[in-house]
Amino acid sequence: MLDYEVIVIGAGVAGIYQIKQLVDFGAKATVLEAAPDLGGTWYWNRYPGCRFDSESYTYGYSFSRELLDEWHWRERFSSQPENLRYLNHVAEKFDLRRHMQFNCRVEAAHYDEAANAWRLSLGDGRTLSARFVILTLGLLSIPTLPRLEGMDRFKGQSFHTFYWPNEGVELADKKVAVIGTGATAIQVIAEIADKVGTLTVFQRRPNWAAPLNNSRISDEEMADIRRRYDEIFATCARTPGGFEHEPDRRGFWEVQREERLKLWDRLYDEPGFGIWLRNFREIFTDEAANAEFSEYIAERIRRRVKDPKVAEKLIPRDHGFGVQRVPLETYYYEAYNRDNVQLVDISETPIECVTETGLRTTERAFDFDIVVYATGFDAITGAYDHIDIRGRGGETLRDKWNDGPTTFLGMMIHGFPNLLMPSGPQSGSASTNYPRGIETGVNWCTKLLGYMRDHGYDRAEPTAAAETRWTEHVKQMYSMMLMRKAKSWFTGYNSNVPGHEQGRIRYFVYNGGAPKYVSTINKVADSGYEGIVFAPTDATGHGDLAAMPGSESRIQVV
Ligand code: NAP
């Protein structure tokens, strides 16, 4: 007798919706969450300045009209505390907490072939079993620290932004260091520059950033948004990024330069990702188009930063605008105009070590009260690597994905039956407005369970051929994008994770855009799940699934 029909791991945005669907579906299911409470990203990241860069009303769940009608987003890009309140509200409204277990770290998940069951070992010593495991582990849930000598020697306060202390940090008059200039650092730096004594930013490579242009949402605006929700979600569904922002479909080179400049001037002042996603599509694929636009943004940075030397240091040289995920900012560049803020270029003078009182670069020593590591994540597959996941024949997922993930539709893995990932590597979620992607993934996974229930199947596994075909398709899309050349978490680069520092590409995300992804996975479902082999209840525990009739995929991935 199994403990559960389905165990979901992770109670973030994806896990919350997944358990809602499973409860509605009537499955005996639970969510196991390592944190003391729900919320995932929005539970952990409590650093100052943490907020959405998706329009709030496109980030919320779309599944309940009542929920849409009663929630008032207060800001166009709402902040972490409000986002966490929202997720708690959802859990309470739909009575989901009673299906969640907190402080439950899953250490191992092994597939027991004879029983067709997953057996999970938890950090508290318990073991649990389930027919299905659904992984909603988050894309950026394993923070990474630099590998610097002496990090435990520092006598002041130091932490990764992911673990910004719950009780807050006393910043007034403090000497603060921030290491990193990614999206997180850009939010923190802008927010704390006027609240600290001094702020020293250690930058290895600058990022291209553009204004967020946030604003309050009045009662009247919210009423209007509520009236337009259907239209808003329909727009999100037809745009590649799952946002309201639709690309400019005119050809970059067919539009006069003056016209291009006019468009960019307008987009720079508009809220959100418009500057990236309402732009010409060639920005993503054509070196010359990208270079011209990057130079436009460089000029904007020069206009905002008073010291020309600092401005030049803030302009990326190794990649163009938008080939890494674009951080959005509020007075980030202006922070460098303050007397108490200093930029240290550690590509010129690397950090040698952490000392008892601060940091030492090859040039000099710095004293700090607080060192903030805004140094990113073991992205996409990191959370999977942290669990000892073993499939058929004891194969470990860590070994299978050693050179990068291979999946079927980003949601299933050959050799790992009944393991589902609504927002897995190579799925449509990572590269889109996340909740729009996860709703798609969760719905698809739940529908698959329904199909299995209706047909008397209790085991599902994609074929090796279907997985290869999907992974090749994902790779092929990278080959068309300038992003393949960038050292970022989209290509699996992380200097702090052994094996991820050489810049070998890992094909982490699906780049075909939300509409194409949705139509492809729906086609698979409509075809009776071509590419997936099912076993009926009475057949489990017998024979080799890969050798069963029908195991050859017929799915055409386009
Ligand atoms: P990130 O983009 O990976 O940036 C990490 C930063 O730390 C980079 O500047 C990196 O430099 C630096 N760094 C890493 N290791 C270092 C080392 N050993 N020595 C010196 N510098 C080091 O991580 P993130 O800023 O946390 O952002 C990750 C993603 O989270 C974003 O792309 C975004 O998707 C999401 N996010 C979203 C929001 C939002 O607005 N909703 C806010 C924050 C984050 P290099 O570039 O040289 O590696």
Protein residue whose Cα sits closest to atom 31 of ligand 1 = 183
CA 529 – ligand 1 centroid, Å: 38
Ligand 1 centre to CA of 351 (Å) is 17
CA 185 – ligand 1 centroid, Å: 7
Residue 220 lies in a domain: no
Q: How far is the CA of 466 from the centre of ligand 1 (A)?
A: 34
Q: Is 443:21 a contact under the CB 8 Å cutoff?
A: yes
Name the closest-CA residue to atom 13, ligand 1.
Answer: 375
Going by CA atoms, what residue is nearest to atom 45 of ligand 1? 205
Residue 384 backbone dihedrals phi, psi, to 5 degrees: -70, -40
Ligand 1 closest atom vs CA 205: 47
For every residue of 452-494, DSSP letters joined together read HHHHTEEEEEE-HHHHHHHHHHHHHHHTTSGGGGS-SGGGT--
> What is the structure's pLDDT at 541?
44
Residue 70: inside a domain: yes
pLDDT of 431: 82
Using a cut of 0.85, tell me whether the model's pTM lies above it.
yes
How far apart, in whole angstroms, are the C-alpha atoms of residue 438 and residue 394? 29
The per-residue pLDDT for 502 is 77
Per the listing, tokens 């492809």 go with: 520
204 Cα nearest atom in ligand 1: 47
Query: Counting atoms of ligand 1 from 1, which one is nearest the CA of 185?
Result: 25
Q: Which of 50, 495, 502 to mutate to test the pocket of ligand 1 (most atoms within 8 A of CB)?
A: 495
Q: Which domain holds residue 105?
A: 4-142+379-547
Among protein residues, the one with the nearest Cα to ligand 1's atom 26 is: 376
Find the 184 Cα to ligand 1 centroid distance in Å.
Answer: 6
Distance 493 CA to ligand 1 centre (A): 11
**Distance in Å, CA 349 to ligand 1 centroid:** 20
The single-letter DSSP state of residue 240 is T
Calculate how far, in angstroms, residue 186's C-alpha sits from the geometric centre of ligand 1. Answer: 9
Per the rule left: phi > 0, alpha: psi between -120 and 50, beta: everything else, 426 is: left
Q: Which amino acid is at 355?
A: T
Tokens standing for residue 296: 């436009």
Q: What phi and psi values does residue 344 have, to the nearest 5 degrees?
A: -115, 120
CA of 325 to the centre of ligand 1 (A): 10
Dihedral sign, Cα of residue 10, residue 15, residue 20, residue 22:
negative
The residue whose CA has the least distance to atom 10 of ligand 1 is: 180
Q: What 3 state SS string does 144-208 have?
A: CCCCCECHHHCCCEEEEHHHCCCCCCCCCCCEEEEECCCHHHHHHHHHHCCCCCEEEEEECCCCC
Ligand 1 atom showing the smallest separation from residue 373 Cα:
7
Ligand 1 atom closest to 376 (CA): 23
CA angle (456, 462, 464) in 5-degree steps: 145
What CATH number is given to the structural domain containing 108? Answer: 3.50.50.60
Q: Which atom of ligand 1 is nearest to the CA of 212?
A: 40
User: How many CB atoms are located within 10 Å of the residue 258 CB?
Assistant: 8
Dump the DSSP string for 362-383: SS-EEE-SEEEE---B-TTTHH
**In b/e form, how buried is each residue of 525-540, taking b as 16+ CB within 10 angstroms?**
eeeebbbbbbbeeebb
Contacts of 531 (CB under 8 A, 6+ apart): 408, 462, 463, 465, 466, 469, 524, 553, 554, 555
Residue nearest to atom 19 of ligand 1 (CA): 146
pLDDT recorded at residue 547: 33
What are the C-alpha distances in Å from 197 to residues 256, 270, 339, 374? 48, 33, 10, 19
Asked if residue 495 is part of any domain, the answer here is yes
| DSSP output for 98-160 | GGEE-S--EEEEEEETTTTEEEEEETTS-EEEEEEEEE---SS-SB-----BTGGG--SEEEE
Q: Does residue 155 lie in a domain region?
A: no
Whether 36 and 30 have beta carbons less than 8 Å apart is answered as no
CA 340, CA 193: separation in Å to the nearest integer?
8
> What pLDDT was estimated at residue 550?
35
Among 76, 145, 184, residue to substitute to test ligand 1 (most atoms within 8 Å of Cβ): 184
- CA terminus-to-terminus distance, the chain: 42
Mutate to test the pocket of ligand 1, among 202, 204, 208, 501 (most ligand atoms within 8 A of CB): 204
DSSP summary character for residue 284: G
Number of domains present in the structure of the chain: 1
Q: What per-residue confidence (pLDDT) applies to 539?
A: 54
φ, ψ for residue 249, nearest 5 deg: -85, 0
Q: Whose CA is nearest to atom 17 of ligand 1?
A: 146
What does DSSP assign to residue 345?
A: E
Nearest to 409 by CA among 392, 422, 391: 422
* C-alpha–C-alpha distance, residues 458 and 442, integer Å: 19
Q: Which tokens go with 226?
A: 């509520």
In ligand 1, the atom with minimum distance to the C-alpha of 325 is: 32
Strands 370-373 and 175-179: parallel
Site to probe by mutation for ligand 1, drawn from 139, 375, 423 as the one with most ligand atoms within 8 Å of Cβ, is 375
**479: Cβ–Cβ under 8 A, 6 or more apart, which residues?**
none
Domain membership of residue 330 (yes or no) is no
In a domain, 543, yes or no: yes
As a whole number of angstroms, the distance between CA 344 and CA 201 comes to 6
Q: Which residues pair with 370 in a beta bridge?
A: 157, 176
Residue nearest to atom 21 of ligand 1 (CA): 180
Q: Whose CA is nearest to atom 4 of ligand 1?
A: 182
Name the residue with the closest Cα to ligand 1, atom 35.
183
Dist. CA 147 → ligand 1 center (Å): 15
Report the pLDDT value the prediction gives residue 551, as an integer from 0 to 100.
34
69 occurs within a structural domain: yes
211 burial via Cβ count (<10 Å: 0-12, 13-18, 19+): buried
Q: Provide the token pair at 66.
A: 């009542």
* The one-letter amino acid at 73: W
Distance of CA 287 to the CA centre of its chain: 26
Q: Give ligand 1 pocket residues (Cβ under 6 A).
A: 52-53, 140, 146, 179-185, 187, 204-205, 325, 346, 374-377, 489, 495-496
Q: Is residue 110 a contact partner of residue 118, using CB atoms and an 8 Å limit?
A: yes
| pLDDT at res. 548 | 35
Domain presence at residue 553: no
Rounded (10°) CA dihedral 193, 189, 179, 504: -160
Which amino acid is present at 417? P
User: How far is residue 323 from each of residues 10, 426, 489, 494, 515, measured CA to CA in Å?
Assistant: 29, 17, 11, 16, 21
* Cα 181 to middle of ligand 1, angstroms: 6
Ligand 1: residue whose CA is nearest its atom 41: 52
- Nearest CA residue ID for atom 2, ligand 1: 182
Q: What is the pLDDT along the chain (558 residues), one digit of tens a residue?
A: 999 999 999 999 999 999 999 999 999 999 999 999 999 999 999 999 999 999 999 999 999 999 999 999 999 999 999 999 999 999 999 999 999 999 999 999 999 999 999 999 999 999 999 999 999 999 999 999 999 999 999 999 999 999 999 999 999 999 999 999 999 999 999 999 999 999 999 999 999 999 999 999 999 999 999 999 999 999 999 999 999 999 999 999 999 999 999 999 999 999 999 999 999 999 999 999 999 999 999 999 999 999 999 999 999 999 999 999 999 999 999 999 999 999 999 999 999 999 999 999 999 999 999 999 999 999 999 999 999 999 999 999 999 999 999 999 999 999 999 999 999 999 988 789 999 999 999 999 999 999 999 999 999 999 999 999 999 999 999 999 999 988 999 899 999 999 898 778 999 999 999 999 999 999 999 999 999 999 997 654 433 333 333 333 333 333
For ligand 1, atom 28: residue with the closest CA: 376
Taking CA atoms only, the protein residue closest to ligand 1 atom 34 is 325
DSSP-derived 3-state class of residue 277: helix
- Which amino acid is present at 107? E
The Cβ of residue 515 has, within 10 Å, a number of other Cβ atoms equal to: 14
